Chains A and B, each alone.
Chain A
Amino acid sequence: MRSESDILIIGSGITGCAVARELSRYNASVIVLERESDVAEGATKANSGIVHAGYDAFPGTRKARYNILGASMYPALCKELGVPYRRNGALVIGFDEADRATIENLLARGKANGVRGLEILERDEALRLEPALSPDVLCALSVPESAIVSPYEMAFALADDAALNGVSFRFNEPVRDVSALPDGRYAVVTDAGSCVCRVLINCAGASGAEIHNRLSSERLEMVHRRGQYYLLDRADPQPFTRTVFQCPSVMGKGVLVTPTVHGNLLLGPTAEDIDDPLDTATTAGGLSEVLAKAFRTWPGLSVRSNITNFSGIRAHLTGDDFIVGPCDGCPGYFEAIGIESPGLSSAPAIGAELSGMVAAWLHLSRKEKTVPLPRRPKPFHDMTDEERARAVQADPSYGQIVCRCETVTEAEIRAAIRRPVGAYSIDAVKRRTRAGMGRCQGGFCMPRVAAIIAEETGLPLQEITKNGGASRLLSGTLSSFGKENADHE
Chain B
Amino acid sequence: MNERFVNILIVGAGPAGLAAAISARENGITSILIVERENEPGGILRQCIHNGFGLHRFKEELTGPEYAQRDIDRVTELGIPVECSTMVLSVSPDLTVTCISSSKGFQVIHAKAVVLAMGCRERPRGALCTPGTRCAGIYSAGTAQRFVNLEGCMPGKRVVILGSGDIGLIMARRMTLQGAKVLACVEIMPYSSGLNRNIVQCLEDYDIPLYLSHTVTDIRGRERLEGVTVSAVDENRMPVPGTEIEFDCDTLLLSCGLIPENELTSAAGIAISPATSGAIVDETFCTGVPGIFACGNVLHVHDLVDYVSDESFKAGAAAAAYVRGGRTESSFIAVRDGDGVRGTVPQKIRAAADQPVSLMFRPAAVYRNSAAVVDWDGKEICRKKAMIFTPGEMALVTLKAEDLRGISGGTLTVRIERS
Contacts and interface: CB of A to CB of B under 8 A. Distances in A.
A286 B263 CA distance: 32
A308 B128 CA distance: 9
Contacts of A447: 143, 146-147, 151
B102 interface: yes
Contacts of B127: 304, 306-307, 439
Contacts of A444: 121, 143
A478 B37 contact: no
- Consensus secondary structure, chain A interface: mixed
B190 interface: no
Contacts of B108: 385
- Point out which of B102, B126, B266 has the most chain A C-beta atoms below 10 A from its C-beta: B126
Given A303-B129, A396-B103, A473 B124 contact: no
Nearest to A466: B136
A439 to B, nearest CB: 7
Interface string B190-222: 000000000000000000000000000111101
- Point out which of A278, A309, A485 has the most chain B C-beta atoms below 10 A from its C-beta: A309
Contacts of B176: 485
A152 to B, nearest CB: 15
Interface string B105-144: 1101000000000000110111101011111100110110
Contacts, number: 178
Contacts of A388: 89, 100, 106
B132 A281 contact: yes
A74 to B, nearest CB: 28
A477 B1 contact: no
A374 interface: no
A26 to B, nearest CB: 37
B125 A308 contact: yes
A1 interface: no
A280 interface: yes
Contacts of B222: 278
Contacts of B251: 475
Interface stretch (B152-160, B284-292, B409-417): B152-160
Interface in A361-388: 385-386, 388
Given A443-B143, A475-B250, A485-B179, A461 B133 contact: no
Given A284-B131, A286-B131, A399-B100, A482 B178 contact: yes
B255 to A, nearest CB: 12
B350 interface: no
Contact of A472 (B103, B219, B224): B224
Given A397-B102, A481-B178, A473 B154 contact: no
Contacts of B133: 280-281
B102 A389 contact: no
Interface residues of B, number: 60
Interface string A383-408: 00110110011001111110011010
A345 to B, nearest CB: 26
A467 B148 CA distance: 21
Contacts of B217: 284
B102 A462 contact: no
- Point out which of B155, B217, B224 has the most chain A C-beta atoms below 10 A from its C-beta: B224
Contact of B103 (A399, A407, A482): A399
A306 B130 CA distance: 11
Contacts of A389: 1, 105-106
B154 A474 contact: yes
A193 interface: no
A201 to B, nearest CB: 27
B126 A306 contact: yes
Interface in A455-472: 461-462, 465-472
Nearest to A411: B102
Interface in A10-56: none
A485 B104 CA distance: 45
B154 A385 contact: no
Nearest to A291: B129
A392 B102 contact: yes
Nearest to A276: B222
A125 to B, nearest CB: 33
10 contacts: A284-B239, A308-B124, A309-B131, A389-B105, A392-B100, A399-B104, A404-B37, A444-B121, A447-B147, A466-B135
Interface pairs A-B: 6 shortest CB-CB: A482-B179, A399-B102, A441-B124, A466-B136, A389-B106, A396-B102
Given A444-B143, A471-B136, 16 more contacts: A306-B127, A385-B1, A385-B106, A385-B108, A399-B101, A401-B87, A446-B143, A447-B151, A465-B223, A468-B223, A473-B155, A475-B250, A475-B251, A478-B153, A481-B154, A486-B179
Interface of A: 230-231, 235, 278, 280-284, 286-287, 303-304, 306-310, 385-386, 388-389, 392-393, 396-401, 404-405, 407, 439-444, 446-447, 451, 461-462, 465-479, 481-486, 488-489
